[in-house]
Amino acid sequence: MNEVKNSCSNNCIIDITGVSKIYKLGKVQVVALRGVDLKIREGEFVAIMGPSGSGKSTLMNIIGCLDIPDNGIYLLENTDVSELNDNQLAEIRNKKIGFVFQTFNLLSRSNAIENIELPLIYSKKTAGKNRKAKITDSLDAVRLKGWEKHRPSELSGGQRQRVAIARALVNDPAIILADEPTGNLDSVTGEEIMAIFQELNNQGKTILIVTHELDIARHTSRIIYLRDGLIFKEEIIKEPVSARQMLKTMPKLEDKIKGG
């Protein structure tokens, strides 16, 4: 235990040591993770890549505290979360994790504000004024002012994903976990989402995304390659692609409409 702690410096948000996970599908055992070591420091922007079946979803679920490892230790902000019960995990998810999904996963009957508010409903402390301020801050961060009362069905894909990011941000989590956040978006909108992530990262947010597109992964500062339940390669990106720059070179959707 102590060794593990010492090996990671103080600004370490995620510290995973020897984590493994085996699923039982009837009589067949599927080994999803076979002893993964991973450290993510505060303020890092990391991408996890790997083919399907490589265990990246399982790793995301464990990092997101939706699941616990069979073996190994997972320290989230120096708290051991590998053996917590359902309620404790829910509380950790509420306070320390912000999820962004490929399919947005917004509540269809609720408007943008209500969707962003969702984590606050399940949080003890935030009430009244504080709550409103947090929602407004999140909305500003994803530049969605004016769309507060719109329901997901009245928003474009990019706007929906921005609502989802605002929801992930609202409780000021330790880390944002994005699972294929651009997977359902066209390339321009995908770049816009990456631009928001980069801005948030520049402001100090720790972000971890799972993707299978190298173009997207190259926006981050470190890529972790996963295969057969093990990390087999890590790559430091010295000069990450700037989404803002990319957007300047790409034809804007509005221009196309105006021009055509």
Partner 1 sequence: MIRFAESVKIAFQSLASNKLRAFLTMLGIIIGVGAVVAMMSIGYGAQESVLSSVQDIGSNMIIVTPGNQDEEQQGFERMLGEDKDRDALTIDDVKVIEKEAEFLNGAAPAILNASIVSYLNKNTRASVYASDEEAESIYNFKVQDGRFYNASDVKNTSNVALVGQTVINKIFGKIEPIGKIIKIDGKNFTIIGTIEPKGTDQFGNDQDNSVTIPITTAQQKLYGIDYVNMIIAQSTTEDNIDEASEEVERILRKAHNLRPGQSNDFTVRNQTQLVDVLGTITNIFTITISSIAGIALLVGGIGIMNIMLVSVTERTREIGIRKAVGAKNKDILLQFLTESVVLSITGGVMGIAFAVIVSIILNRFTILTTSITLFPIILALSFSTVVGLFFGIYPAMRAARLNPIEALRYE
How far apart CA 157 and CA 136 sit, in angstroms, is 21
Q: Which residue from 95, 132, 218, 227 is in contact with partner 1, where contact means CB under 8 A? A: 95
Q: Which residue from 37, 42, 67, 235 is in contact with partner 1, where contact means CB under 8 A? A: 67
Q: How many CA atoms lie within 13 A of 32 on its CB side?
A: 20
* Residue 240 beta carbon to partner 1: minimum distance, rounded to whole angstroms: 28
The stretch among 30-38, 106-114, 200-208, 241-249 that binds partner 1 (CB under 8 A) is: 106-114
Closer Cβ to partner 1, 86 or 254, answer by number: 86
C-alpha 195: how far from its chain's center? 14
Residue 101 found at the interface with partner 1 (CB under 8 A): yes
User: What is the full DSSP assignment across 60-114?
Assistant: HHHHTTSS--SEEEEEETTEE-TT--HHHHHHHHHHHEEEE-TT----TTS-HHH
* Residue 33 beta carbon to partner 1: minimum distance, rounded to whole angstroms: 14
How far apart CA 213 and CA 40 sit, in angstroms, is 21
User: What is the full DSSP assignment across 117-129?
Assistant: HHHHHT-SS--HH
* Residue 155 beta carbon to partner 1: minimum distance, rounded to whole angstroms: 16
Q: At what angle do helices 128-141 and 157-169 cross, to 10 degrees?
A: 140
* Residue 182 beta carbon to partner 1: minimum distance, rounded to whole angstroms: 18
Restricted to residues 125-144, the positions that interact with partner 1 (CB under 8 A) are: none
Answer whether 19's CB lies under 8 Å from 33's CB. Answer: yes
Closer Cβ to partner 1, 104 or 197, answer by number: 104
* Residue 251 beta carbon to partner 1: minimum distance, rounded to whole angstroms: 34
Closer Cβ to partner 1, 122 or 232, answer by number: 122
Q: Which residue from 4, 22, 66, 188 is in contact with partner 1, where contact means CB under 8 A? A: 66
Token pair belonging to 197: 């992530």
Closer Cβ to partner 1, 63 or 246, answer by number: 63
Q: Which residue from 4, 31, 37, 61 is in contact with partner 1, where contact means CB under 8 A? A: 61
**Burial of 87 from C-beta contacts in 10 A (0-12 / 13-18 / 19+):** exposed
Total H helices, total E strands in the chain: 10, 10
What are the angstrom distances between the C-alpha of 81 and each of 15, 35, 62, 159, 169? 11, 17, 9, 33, 21
Q: Which residue from 160, 162, 167, 205 is in contact with partner 1, where contact means CB under 8 A? A: 167
The stretch among 33-41, 82-90, 183-191, 193-201 that binds partner 1 (CB under 8 A) is: 82-90
- Contact footprint for partner 1 (CB under 8 A): 61, 64, 66-67, 86-87, 90-91, 93-95, 99, 101, 105-107, 109-110, 118-119, 121-124, 167, 171
